[in-house]
């Protein structure tokens, strides 16, 4: 009698695993997907903030921010991104001749399809490829 009951329990646990395992896998993959999104958001915010800081000195030029040796390019390259994966926008577009106190906005943006991990597909709760990741920093131009 004891053996027959034990055999039935083994079959029940297999059924329980079959029901719970897909849910646990989706939750795990979702944690990876959204964790990567938060990492990217933080990376973009740090690059935008450093770009704004590089843009505010009196003698700063656009190349200090977005050029080949600009701070945003260096930070994004260090994080593993090529320049084709993201965009950097300066407002105003030319920062070299601005008067003291003028706000300078630096925005770093990319599409999730270009930079994301895509572990969990969209129908199961993952981020869509069209999701825009963007971070903006604003600082005022400094005096001489």
Q: Omega of the bond prior to 92 within 30 degrees of 0, cis?
A: yes
| Residue 2: per-residue pLDDT | 55
pLDDT per residue of the chain (144 residues) written in tens, 0 to 9 = 555 555 556 678 888 888 999 999 999 998 998 999 999 999 999 999 999 999 999 889 999 999 889 999 999 999 999 999 999 999 999 998 899 999 999 999 999 988 988 888 888 888 888 889 999 999 999 987
Q: Per the structure block, which two tokens stand in for 131? A: 């999701």
Query: Could you tell me which residues come within 8 angstroms of residue 61 by beta carbon, excluding any fewer than 6 positions away?
Result: 95, 96
CA distance 127 to 122: 6
| Residue 15: per-residue pLDDT | 84
| Residue 10: per-residue pLDDT | 64
CA distance 55 to 57: 6
Q: Per the structure block, which two tokens stand in for 17? A: 């695993």
Domain extent, residue 88, equals 2-140
Of the candidates 89, 87, 78, the one whose C-alpha atom is nearest the C-alpha of residue 138 is 89
| Residue 109: per-residue pLDDT | 96
What is the domain count for the chain?
1
Q: Per the structure block, which two tokens stand in for 86? A: 């993201």
Kindly list the strands in the beta sheet with 103-111, ordered across the sheet, starting from the edge strand earlier in the chain.
87-91, 103-111, 132-140
Burial class (CB in 10 A: 0-12, 13-18, 19+), 115: buried
Task: Report the residue count for the chain.
Answer: 144
pTM confidence score: 0.82
Residue 11, CA distances (Å) to 2, 22, 32, 123 in order: 15, 18, 32, 31
- Residues 105, 123 contacting (CB under 8 angstroms): no
- CA–centroid distance for 116 within its chain: 7
């Amino acid at each position: 009698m004891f053996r027959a009951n034990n055999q039935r329990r083994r079959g029940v646990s297999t059924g329980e695993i079959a029901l719970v395992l897909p849910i646990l896998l989706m939750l795990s993959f979702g944690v990876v997907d959204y964790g990567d999104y938060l990492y990217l958001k933080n990376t973009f915010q740090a690059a935008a903030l450093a770009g704004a800081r590089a843009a505010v000195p009196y003698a700063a030029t656009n190349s200090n921010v977005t050029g080949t040796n600009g701070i945003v390019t260096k930070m994004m390259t260090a994080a593993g991104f090529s320049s084709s994966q993201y965009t950097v926008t300066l407002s105003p577009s030319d920062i070299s001749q601005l008067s003291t106190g003028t706000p300078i906005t630096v925005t770093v943006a990319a599409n999730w399809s270009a930079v994301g991990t895509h572990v969990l597909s969209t129908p199961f709760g993952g981020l869509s490829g069209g999701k825009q990741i963007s971070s903006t920093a604003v600082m005022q131009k400094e005096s001489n």
